[in-house]
A and B are shown apart, each in its own frame.
Chain A
Amino acid sequence: MYNFDFEKPSTIADAVSALSAEDAQALGGGQTLLPTMKQRLASPSKLVSLKGIAEMQGICTGDDGALCIGGATTHADVAAGAGAYPGLAALAGGIGDPAVRARGTIGGSLANNDPSACYPAGALASGATFVTNAREIAADDYFQGMFTTALDEGEILTEVRFPVPEASNYQKFEQPASRFALVGVFVAKYADGVRVAVTGASEEGVFRWTEAEAALSGNFSANAIADMTPGEDGMISDLHGTAAYRAHLVGVLTRRAVTAAG
């Protein structure tokens, strides 16, 4: 990879200022960014590690009962510490492998918004609130297509707040080589309705399957969506699976998630 300057600030304010340099890039756990840089698909002038910022670490419960997770919290820490939201803890515990989970962070994953990553499905299905150094962004506004989010240049995702659902489950059909989701579906049942978010399937990145949401909000059972499949238009088609196959998986995995959530 090309060389760069490295900084590891200890406060959000210092990180924001370090990121104001031209072509500077925030570094979470680096589990995606470093391999990308090795392939020279990214060549930032400066990496600003967010790992030294204590206020971006850890999990707590907010006054409204939401689970608040610091942007620099690792997948391993979410898997172990998000017991109040078991569906999300299970999602975090299924990302990559143990060594990857020990470094990779929730903020890094959500800022990258890989179309096959797990966290975008969990965050969108939860209607999470994305807290940055500058503002709060609703999940429905945050995800804007493959590798694209509402974050501005140099804006840091400092915390993500997850309203805790009554029931939830994440089903991932794993691509065995990359351990990313070939298709992943997160189902979350709240008092005011059910949310279903799908990763890995669409060329537009993570999306809400609103047709299933409407059916499940009336009747939270796999039967309610027994024959339902999203259209294959706009689904990813590659050597791992056709668009029709992915669309089929969305239906299957959503039914499995609903049954597992109970």
Chain B
Amino acid sequence: MSQVTMTVNGKEMSGDAEGRTLLSQFLRETLGLTGTHVGCDTSQCGACVVHVDGVAVKACTMLAMEAEGTSVDTIEGQAAPDGTLNALQQAFQDHHGLQCGFCTPGMIMSAADLLKNNPQPTEAEVRHHLEGNICRCTGYHNIVKAILAASGQDVSSIAAE
């Protein structure tokens, strides 16, 4: 066991980790931040996407020790301290971008990564960017719609399917 320290959602946090402790496991089990979901544990599904030093990564396929000294952002840090949802989260609610909600933390974190680098993506760019995020409920349509809406684009002409 060694101690690992990282800044999580703006706050410095430490905990013990083995070599094999995954970042997803460290966040959930050591720090108690269970918003980061583990869907497949094989880096296919994207439910565990978090940002490490501002870049979206799959927390189930990164060692906690590799995150030593980094700045990690998770779904818990997205809403304002008073619980007000950020624009992306609100858009997911407004446009029904989730059903069971299991994939949603990863969807939000991947979408945030996209909008940071490409503030007005096309529908095709959104779908392409979500290649590594799997949703088994929605058929993606409302997720894409929510992300386009969060980017400030008019989605009224996109029919619900």
Give chain B nearest CB distance to A172 CB in angstroms.
13
* B42 close to A35 (CB less than 8 A): yes
Query: Quick one: which of B22, B41, B58 contacts A100, CB cutoff 8 A?
Result: B58
Contact check, B66 vs A8: say whether CB atoms are below 8 A apart. yes
Q: Are B61 and A98 interface neighbours, CB within 8 A?
A: no
Whether B20 contacts A2 by the Cβ 8 Å rule is: yes
Binds A, one of B49-57, B84-92, B94-102: B49-57
CA distance A210 to B129 in the complex (A): 36
Chain B, Cβ-Cβ closest to A176: B131
Report the minimal beta-carbon distance from B22 to chain A, rounded to whole angstroms: 8
**Is the beta-carbon distance between A1 and B43 smaller than 8 angstroms?**
no
Render A1-17 as a binary contact track against B, CB cut-off 8 A, 1 for contact: 11111101000000000
Interface string of B114-136 (1 = CB under 8 A from A): 10000000000000010111000
Could you tell me if B132 and A30 are in contact, using CB atoms closer than 8 angstroms? no
Chain A interface size range: 20 to 34
Q: How far is the CA of A27 from the CA of B20 in the complex (A)?
A: 13
Residue pair B56, A34 in contact (C-beta under 8 Å): no
A99 interfacial contact with B, CB 8 Å: yes
- Residues in chain A near residue B66, CB distance under 8 A: 8, 30, 49, 51
Interface of B is mostly: mixed
Nearest B residue to A49 by beta-carbon distance? B66
Interface pair A3/B18, CB less than 8 Å apart: yes
| Contact in complex: B20, A97 (CB < 8 Å) | no
Nearest-CB distance from B57 to chain A (Å)? 5
Q: Is the CB of A31 within 8 A of B43?
A: yes
Contact in complex: B132, A96 (CB < 8 Å): yes
* Chain A residues, Cβ within 8 Å of B132: 96-100, 179
Which of A2, A47, A51 has the most B CB atoms < 10 Å from its CB?
Answer: A47
What residues on A are CB-neighbors of B65 within 8 Å?
A: 6, 8, 49
Q: CA–CA, A35 to B62, complex, Å?
A: 10
Chain B residue contacts of A256, Cβ below 8 A: none
Q: List 30 A-B contacts (CB under 8 A).
A: A2-B20, A4-B20, A5-B19, A6-B65, A8-B66, A8-B68, A30-B62, A30-B63, A30-B66, A31-B43, A34-B61, A34-B62, A34-B63, A35-B61, A37-B20, A38-B42, A49-B65, A49-B66, A51-B66, A97-B46, A97-B133, A98-B110, A98-B113, A98-B129, A99-B43, A100-B43, A102-B56, A103-B57, A179-B131, A179-B132
Give B residues with C-beta under 8 Å from A: 2, 18-20, 22, 41-44, 46, 49, 55-58, 61-63, 65-66, 68, 110, 113-114, 129, 131-133
Seen from chain A, the residues whose Cβ lies within 8 Å of a Cβ on chain B are 1-6, 8, 27, 30-31, 34-35, 37-38, 47, 49, 51, 76, 96-100, 102-103, 177, 179
